[in-house]
Structure 1
Amino acid sequence: MQIILIIPIVFILYYLYRTYFGRNWSDNLSATLSFGSNIVEGNDTELKEVISNRKWLGIPFLEVRFQVGKGLEVENGQNVTVSDRTNITDIFSLKKYEKITRTLPVHGQKRGYYEVLSTSLVGYDMIGGVEHYTLRDQNTSLYVFPKTLSSDRFDVSFSKMLGDIVTRRFLQEDVFTFRGIRDYTTQDTVSSINWKATAASGDFKVNLHDPTSSQEIVLILNVEDPSVLYDSDLIEDSIRLIMSLTSFFISKQIPVRLISNGKDIITSEEIRISSGNSDDHRHRIAMDLARIDLTKSVRPMSEIFEELIIPSAKLRADQTDVTYMLVSSCQRDDIIKAAGELADINGSLIWLCPLTPSMEERVPEGKIHFYKIKHE
């Protein structure tokens, strides 16, 4: 008789437990994800998961599911790549009023901007079999900045060209900045003589000025496909080259401006960054380069030359302190023509062209200085 009574009681308790669990399991349950510091591609950071169950009902089995871009490698046993996303599943068992913090190592395999906007929580009771779902909003992101190219990728002529640009900066003096007084030489102009200091000392003295601060590097990044079949990492090399040039010139206190037909993954706008030479400016360029989405369609760079770059160059045609540097693996006729026109207006243009050994090198004629960058 007791056994007969026990069976329905067990079924009633089973039903009550499952019903109560299904209605209340997600109450006061939080899941917060946060990335560590931003990194350069090839480096490591971490992803911290904080799961908190603030109620007396325990959750015997909890799955935390979320997605990241496939350029990130999250060390977890249940990663499944789906198209351009990677599904991550982490498993927890929560007691009543328990908080669990777990840190997952993350490897920045590829440049990019990575967001986690939501997590899917799947709960199971102690009996199992029935899945219960809920979502939790997230707001965490990670920048993986492009790395700089090693110096052995550049030949001697390229390194000399960079040195010439820096040297030219220090050969031009800014008449509006005064640094001191020195003795007169036959190379100085009469207008540079400081007559008051000359009268006081009895010898000719001239004003000493700081180097000009008006010199500017305009970096032009073209992310158009160079051919029908090509190594996709070739465009990434162009982005890394822009990062390398930015770091180099800003380290020399030379202002850098960036124009690109690459589109921002957040705004879908083309990249436009005004001139600057501070560490913050370098960081801004690194962020924008990280956010270039190469899956978005881009318009021909020749159009940007005609609409923006060439008209601007015409307004500054009488200035000799602007250096235009085009980074493009694409060598179509329209780009060569537009680059040639800009070179004629400005007096010169430097074209940096990442190419694989099998790709044809089309050296433009005229005032374009062409440099092939080895793609490994």
Structure 2
Amino acid sequence: MIVFWFAVAAVIFLYLQSKLFQRFGWSRLTYTRKFQKRAVFRGEQLELVEQLTNAKWLPVPWLRVESQLSSSLLFQRQDNFAVSSGQLYQNHKSFFALMPYSRITRRHRVKCLKRGLYRLDSVTLTIGDLAGFSRSARRMLLSDELVVYPAPAPVSVSELPSHGWQGETSVRRWIAEDPFVRSGTRDYRPGDTFKQINWKATARSGKLQSHQYDYTADRKLMIYLNVDDHEGMWRDVADKELIECGIEWAAGAAEAVVDEGMEVGFAANMPLAGASESVFIEPRSGGAQLYELLEAMARLELVRTERLVDLLVREADRGYTGRDVLIISTYWNEALETEARRLRGGGNEVAFWRLEAGPRSGINGDSGKDGATA
């Protein structure tokens, strides 16, 4: 008889706790998930931080968090954390148990394998009672995002095309061990390096002064990147790794010239995520400009918006002058050479870097294109 009444009491208890949990289980239960940083470079690691708070007297016996993220974010293994990964996406399941008035913070180490824009859109939370009689699920919207910049290729000034930069004398002066010829001083500008500061002039004037170099006065580099992985490509990119390499070359070239105080811009026959037009950023100098370019490169979609030659026709029609132009492409043909001639005829210098399949440890230049190549 004692066993019977114990069984009855247990059933009543389980029924009551199930009803109680159905009514108050979600009350004062909060969940947040955020990346530790807003932006990193490809290959870097960061933390994804989850936080659960149960701010009520009723415990949560078990809670499961399910979400979907890109497979380009590599998670380290942890207890109570399961990852099922596919070619493009991976499914995550985290498991928690929360005592009354408690908070749990879990940090996941993540390695960013590819440049791009990664958003935390939503998670599905499922909670249940002690006996598993009652369970319910809710979808929670999130609003955090991570920007992964391309890792700039190691491009030094000496690796830039030697015969396409403001004439023979300037090139030799630029790539030498001591490349600068000073012509005076000027006010400090954001992006100037520590070694550019003229401390004597700063002391005399009472405000930061930098060395003025004659070859940097009006120097501007415009980088054009072609999304076509081969000549005759229609729309879809087959060799995405090759174009990703080109993006990193463009990032490396931009970083190299910004470090030297030059102005740099970027254009490509690709759109930014959510846009439909070719990306275009006018040359400017400084660290802020570099990170604007890196942000744009991170958000590039590998889709062709127009032919590269059409982009160059439009640029040549603008009639700008006094710029150094760098074109990064998997091919070079007569149509591109015609537009390069028009740009050179307007007082610009044009250079070409060829993207090629195979080992990509350095910059491959093709010297067979009459002054338009590296």
Measured against the shorter chain, the TM-score band is 0.7 to 0.9
1:247 aligns with 2:255: yes
Query: Residues of 1 paired with 2:278 and 2:292: CA distance?
Result: 15
Whether the 8 Å CA contact 2:116–2:149 is kept in 1: the answer is yes
Residues 210 and 2 (structure 1), Cα distance of their counterparts in 2 relative to 1, 3 Å cut:
closer
What SS does the aligned partner of 2:82 have?
A: coil
Shift of residue 269 of structure 1? 4.5
Q: Which residue of 1 aligns with 2:192?
A: none
**Aligned partner (choices 289, 296, 300) of residue 281 of structure 1:** 289
Whether the 8 Å CA contact 1:71–1:112 is kept in 2: the answer is no
1:96 aligns with 2:100: yes
Q: CA deviation digits over 1:133-158, x for unaligned, max 9?
A: 11222222222211122359x99684
Query: Residues of 2 paired with 1:54 and 1:178: CA distance?
Result: 62
Counterpart amino acid of 1:118?
Answer: S
1:135 aligns with 2:142: no
Which of 1 and 2 has greater Rg?
A: 1
Q: CA deviation digits over 1:314-360, x for unaligned, max 9?
A: 2x3xx4x2111111124466545544543454454111112025999
Within-5 A mapping of 1:58-73: 58-73=59-74
Query: Residues of 1 paired with 2:356 and 2:71: CA distance?
Result: 26
TM-score, normalised via structure 2 length:
0.76
Q: Which residue of 1 aligns with 2:328?
A: 327
Residues 165 and 281 (structure 1), Cα distance of their counterparts in 2 relative to 1, 3 Å cut:
farther
Shift of residue 238 of structure 1? 0.6
TM-score, normalised via structure 1 length:
0.76
Query: Residues of 2 paired with 1:56 and 1:267: CA distance?
Result: 49
Residues 22 and 348 (structure 1), Cα distance of their counterparts in 2 relative to 1, 3 Å cut:
same
Shift of residue 59 of structure 1? 1.3
Query: Residues of 2 paired with 1:230 and 1:363: CA distance?
Result: 26
Shift of residue 35 of structure 1? 1.1
Query: Residues of 1 paired with 2:30 and 2:367: CA distance?
Result: 60
Shift of residue 171 of structure 1? 7.6
Query: Residues of 1 paired with 2:97 and 2:253: CA distance?
Result: 50
1:256 aligns with 2:264: yes
Query: Residues of 2 paired with 1:107 and 1:151: CA distance?
Result: 24
What SS does the aligned partner of 2:355 have?
A: strand
Q: CA deviation digits over 1:139-197, x for unaligned, max 9?
A: 22222211122359x99684676782984997897xxx877xxxxxxxxxxxxxxxxxx
Q: Which residue of 2 aligns with 1:115?
A: 119
Q: Which residue of 2 aligns with 1:311?
A: 317
Query: Residues of 2 paired with 1:358 and 1:251: CA distance?
Result: 27
Counterpart amino acid of 1:233?
Answer: E
Query: Residues of 1 paired with 2:182 and 2:371: CA distance?
Result: 22
Query: Residues of 2 paired with 1:263 and 1:31: CA distance?
Result: 35
Whether the 8 Å CA contact 2:229–2:242 is kept in 1: the answer is no
Residues 19 and 336 (structure 1), Cα distance of their counterparts in 2 relative to 1, 3 Å cut:
farther
Query: Residues of 2 paired with 1:11 and 1:165: CA distance?
Result: 89
Q: CA deviation digits over 1:80-127, x for unaligned, max 9?
A: 224522222221111111101111111011111211122211112221
Q: Which residue of 2 aligns with 1:185?
A: none
Q: RMSD value over aligned CA atoms? A: 3.5
Whether the 8 Å CA contact 2:164–2:349 is kept in 1: the answer is no
Query: Residues of 2 paired with 1:157 and 1:283: CA distance?
Result: 21
Structure 1, unpaired ranges of 5+: 180-207, 372-376
1:105 aligns with 2:109: yes
Structure 2, unpaired ranges of 5+: 187-210
Shift of residue 231 of structure 1? 3.9
Q: Which residue of 2 aligns with 1:29?
A: 29
Query: Residues of 1 paired with 2:172 and 2:135: CA distance?
Result: 65
Identity %: 20
Query: Residues of 1 paired with 2:224 and 2:173: CA distance?
Result: 19
1:290 aligns with 2:291: no
Query: Residues of 2 paired with 1:81 and 1:333: CA distance?
Result: 46
Query: Residues of 2 paired with 1:346 and 1:62: CA distance?
Result: 67
Within-5 A mapping of 1:1-376: 1-37=1-37, 38-76=39-77, 77-128=81-132, 131-150=135-154, 158=161, 164=171, 167=174, 211=214, 213-226=217-230, 231-294=239-302, 296-306=303-313, 308-312=314-318, 314=319, 316=320, 319=321, 321-331=322-332, 334-346=335-347, 348-357=349-358, 365-368=369-372, 370-371=373-374
